[in-house]
């Protein structure tokens, strides 16, 4: 009797269903069935309807607020472990609480570290995630973390636009490394230099920017702003307005994760931006904003799962 070596299954939580379906289509497998039962008091439970004994289990779920999404992932990890799964791999397209990666003032928690501890305690053997807010979050885990970058698919899209006088911009000083890396990817494709400019911003408080200044030349340039998160989109919209006032021809924004909370959609719709581009790491209805362009990450995650299953290099697949 022939026994398949290390088979695997893919399951999804409430915030990972659509992306998980696309990943499974890419891999040529069926999405596993998981039943999430809710009780009247708000509690819920997770139960796999397919056997996972001796198999590698990939659980696709973003841990964005509300906390139910994180709890779903933790319960699925625990359920897979108790069902005798060979390995449990948490596929977290958007790693929530990542902005709480350090103590930036006294008497605050480091939320990203706490979430990492919870995922490990639940029983995950490995984590796959996309564009962490801070690279050092990988060090919060004592298990392997495959940190993937969306810059490859974003660079492909920007290249397809055939923009002349292209400039890459960082919306703040902290994102300058991310913008510089993206510019280098574009330079390899376009075979010419892509300058980087930096925005200096001052905040009144979280999600509220008081002033933005641009360091660099954007006169008659097509500007692409690079960031990791679009939450309320206040910074992006304000930066686009300032850049247009300084003579930019067009302004686009590329962000890894489109949270788009509160007034974000209305702000983007009424902004100076030509378009806002982000990945499908979080569900988003296209009808909410005509300026949003969503790019799928199914290939990135699909190729990573293939690499893990075949014990081959992820880096050689140009996913990092």
- Give the dihedral sign, CA 111/203/94/156: negative
- Active-site residue flag, 191: no
Catalytic residue among 9, 15, 185, 201: 201
Kindly report the three-state secondary structure assignment for every residue of the chain. Answer: CCCCCCCEEEEECCCCHHHHHHHHHHHCCCECCEEEEECCCCCEEEEECCCCCCCEEEEECCCCCCHHHHHHHHHHHHHHHHCCCCEEEEEECCCCCCCCCCCCCCCCCCHHHHHHHHHHHHCCCEEEEECCCCHHHHHHCCCCEEEECCHHHHHHHHHHCCCCCEEEEECCHHHHHHHHHHHHHHHHHHCCCCCEEEEEEEEEECCEEEEEEEECCCCCCEEEEEEEEECCCHHHHHHHHHHHHCCCCEEEEEEEEECCCCCHHHHHHCCCCCEEEEECCCCCCHHHCCCEEEECCHHHHHHHHHHHHHCCCCHHHCCC
Positions marked catalytic: 201
């Amino acid at each position: 009797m022939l026994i398949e070596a290390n088979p695997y299954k893919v399951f999804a939580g409430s915030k990972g269903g659509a992306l998980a379906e696309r990943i499974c289509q890419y891999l040529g497998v069926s999405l596993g069935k998981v039943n999430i039962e809710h009780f009247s008091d708000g509690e819920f439970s997770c139960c796999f309807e397919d056997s996972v004994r001796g198999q590698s289990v990939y659980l696709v779920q973003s841990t964005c607020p509300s906390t139910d999404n994180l709890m779903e992932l933790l319960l699925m990890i625990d359920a897979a472990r108790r069902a005798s799964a060979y390995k449990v791999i948490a596929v977290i397209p958007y790693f929530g609480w990542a902005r709480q990666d350090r103590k930036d003032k006294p008497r605050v928690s480091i939320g990203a570290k706490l979430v990492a501890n919870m995922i490990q305690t639940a029983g995950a053997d490995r984590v796959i995630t996309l564009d962490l807010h801070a690279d050092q979050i990988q060090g919060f885990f004592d298990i392997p973390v495959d940190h993937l970058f969306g810059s490859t698919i974003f660079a492909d899209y920007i290249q397809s636009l055939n923009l002349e006088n292209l400039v890459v911009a960082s919306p703040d000083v902290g994102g300058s490394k991310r913008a510089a890396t993206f510019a280098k990817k574009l330079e390899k494709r376009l075979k010419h230099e892509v300058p980087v400019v930096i925005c200096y911003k001052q905040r009144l408080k979280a999600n509220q920017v008081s002033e933005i200044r641009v360091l660099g030349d954007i006169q008659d340039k097509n500007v692409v702003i690079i960031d990791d998160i679009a939450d309320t989109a206040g910074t992006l919209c304000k930066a686009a307005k300032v850049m247009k006032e300084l003579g930019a021809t067009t302004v686009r924004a590329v962000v890894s994760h489109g949270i788009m909370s509160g007034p974000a959609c209305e702000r983007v719709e009424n902004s100076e931006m030509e378009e806002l581009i982000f990945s499908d790491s979080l569900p988003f209805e296209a009808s909410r904003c005509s300026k949003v362009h969503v790019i799928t990450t199914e290939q990135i995650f699909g190729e990573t799962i293939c690499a893990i299953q075949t014990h081959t290099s992820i880096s050689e697949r140009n996913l990092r």
